[in-house]
Chains A and B, each alone.
Chain A
Amino acid sequence: MAETQVKMPQMGESIFEGTVTKWLKKKGDKVQRDEPLFEISTDKIDTEIPSPASGVLQDILVKEGQTVQINTTVAVIGDGAAKPAEGKAETQEPPLAQAKEPSPPPGPAPVGRPVPTARGEKEEAEDGDHEHIRSSPLVRRIAKEHGIDLASLSGKGTGINGRVTKRDILSYIEQGAPAVPPPKPVEAPKEAPPAPPPMKFTGEVERVPMTAMRKAIAEHMVMSRRTSAHVTTLFEVDCSRILKAKEKQQAEFERSGVKLTVTPFFVQAAATALKRFPIVNSSLEGDTIVYKQAINIGIAVNLEWGLIVPVIKHAGEKNLFGLAKAINDLGERARNKKLTPEDVKDGTFTITNPGQYGGLIGTPIINQPQVAIMGMGGIKKRAVVIDDAIAIRPIIMLSLSFDHRVIDGASADQFMAEVQKELENWPV
């Protein structure tokens, strides 16, 4: 039986490395195809990786806690007959990279992600081949017939998610010889900052290295603060009607196995407002504002080991039940480490919940490359004045942190007023 090399998978387009957090099998264990083999942690998600083959786990080449680049062999599965090699991760790096021709200029480094090392880019460009260029069976056939390397159409796709379509490849052929793709703005590879000198503390301390997720969050937060001109606006919203609606529909939702919280109400209100104010659903790309058709709302989920933002795709097209179901499902899978890279991609707006532990409200940091994020405070009964009488109403404070580069205060407030209007006039 041939040996199967288990590779560090690429979990998402902009992921270049991953950390093996746990081996679920020991060397010499029998393993079935698709049985969970090890756990990894990347910038985006933590997940279990299934075994690519059945056999015996002959060798583990990457120890728990070790971070390696994608496509590095982390283990070998054989029939158990072969003598285990004394391999180490360092020696298993594919020597291909040095031997091959210099790679074409890589695509733009995705905003907000660690700048890949030269090494990482090279591997992606070479090993990735067509896998990273989205196309279709037809396009691949046309490319093959015309001897076109699809990589040369990188960035030229006009289909959804930059997919290379029939029109793209036909016009590319029409335009003549496969030219060198235009150079893309690439962030200059930064040199790794020198390790800071250890700080001095009195008394005993424990030093714990940051997890991959922690590091990614840290980098992202600082990068976002550096990128956007953050301004936060605050709104108070009367929750009487949505709480009534929630109470009324709760039992019915539960019969379908869906727990109804207040969150979907806010998601739906935000989706409605995003439709009216598409600027809040945009991104800034250089000097160009990119308006996105899809309304994909990320929900910040607090985990014991960090924070993750799974995305409700096409939230603008879902009703309350669909939203509640999606939120249940994403939250559940986030906590069970079952999210896929797709689940955390393509968000266009984010909602976070700083009021979870009784906080009045927070001023969240924008999830790049989005331009706004809404915070939900805690719902609390308060005395409010209505028609000159004092009434007791459940009130929530909402915050919207927005990027003043593209959104002015007036637009942000109009957006929030729309959210408020939706929530306070919720049909019961």
Chain B
Amino acid sequence: MSLTTYVEAIRQGIWEEMEKDERVFVLGEDVGIYGGAFKVTAGMLERFGEWRIIDTPISESGIVGAAIGAALMGMRPVAEMQFADFISCAFDQITNFAAKCRYRWGAGVPIVVRGPSGGGVHGGPFHSQNPEMYYVHTPGLKVVCPATAYDAKGLIKAAIRDPDPVIYFEHKFLYRRIKEELPSDDFVVPIGKAAIRRTGSDMTVVTYGAMVHAALEAAKELEREGIDLEILDLRSLLPFDKQAVLDSVRKTNKVILLHEDTRIGGFAGELAAIISEEAFEYLDGPIRRITAPDTPVPYSPPLEEFFLPKASDVVRVARELYAY
């Protein structure tokens, strides 16, 4: 069997759900004839036709609004944001409408809004952001951030089948860098379940998205020094797997919270609060955060390199925490 890339895994996931369920359709900018800016929808127009693969005008608010309307009429739309950065144009539709329909009227909105997020590809401040926390802060939504090809496929399928709005952030740095052999059966990855990527005993790194790979790289280097990292990939941020976080911290007693998103208001802060509320007496050292600094994503490649958290940052902080 061949290796499947992260981006191909997303494509396969959508494709399979479209084959199975005719309510599923895709809409977004350039998703049809062009096959999507990152080719996630390549070949779909030919297979499913223009009624199910819809090229839209450049209006994220319109795309999500139309998706919500279709969902209320019984469809299962998958809306693509060409870059996750532009999801802010659809903020009101997502937070005030999609997120609140079930609460307000008992009407679920089974939409998926997906888009490429994250930096590392010299995309500059408007094509590199990690906007997950705006949506994590919105009750009524679900937010997922896969880190592997398996999860990319399993989570897009779970998101499409979910009865509520799911914001699906795919990391563009991983698109063609991450590949693995995928099972041929019809699998899903449950939303809200974390995965232990590496078991270890000295400290836990809680992370998600592209940073899972930075943590794994750091773990390899630290292993040589006798520092044994446990790496917990959250996979879903809303809801997130609190029990897995607490279990791991209670086991290793030290924790590093790592994300590519900026620091203030990042998910690490929320995790730190929960750990100190519910596992304080299991801590053998301070809760450490590794995040991007609180600035826009720089356009200059060396500055971007500096801005993004990397394996060497994990190594440095892990050494400090180990010695603590």
Residues of A bordering B, CB below 8 Å: 136-141, 159-160, 163, 165-166
Contacts and interface: CB of A to CB of B under 8 A. Distances in A.
A160 B324 contact: yes
Contacts of B280: 137
B58 to A, nearest CB: 40
Interface stretch (B42-50, B234-242, B281-289, B303-311): B281-289
A140 B280 CA distance: 11
A138 B282 contact: yes
Contacts of B128: none
B253 A166 contact: yes
Contacts of A166: 253, 284
A136 B323 contact: no
A159 B280 CA distance: 19
A141 B253 CA distance: 12
A50 to B, nearest CB: 25
Contacts of B324: 136, 159-160, 163, 165
B323 to A, nearest CB: 6
Q: How large is the interface on B (under 10, 10 to 19, 20 to 34, 35 or more residues)?
A: under 10
Contacts of B282: 137-138, 141
A139 B280 CA distance: 11
A138 B323 contact: no
A138 B279 CA distance: 9
B323 A160 contact: yes
A163 B253 CA distance: 15
Contact of B283 (A138, A159, A160, A163): A138
A246 B154 CA distance: 58
Contacts of A136: 253, 283-285, 324
A314 to B, nearest CB: 11
Interface in B171-227: none
Contact of B253 (A138, A140, A159, A160): A138
Contacts of B281: 137-138, 140-141
A139 B284 contact: yes
17 contacts: A136-B253, A136-B283, A136-B285, A138-B281, A138-B282, A138-B283, A138-B284, A139-B284, A140-B281, A141-B281, A159-B324, A160-B323, A163-B324, A165-B284, A165-B285, A165-B324, A166-B253
Interface string B251-272: 0010000000000000000000
A141 B281 CA distance: 6
A140 B253 CA distance: 13
A137 B323 contact: no
B249 to A, nearest CB: 10
B212 to A, nearest CB: 26
A387 B253 CA distance: 63
Nearest to A164: B284
A144 to B, nearest CB: 9
Contacts of A163: 324
Given A138-B253, A165-B324, A166-B253, 12 more contacts: A136-B253, A136-B283, A136-B324, A137-B280, A138-B282, A138-B283, A138-B284, A141-B281, A160-B323, A160-B324, A163-B324, A165-B285
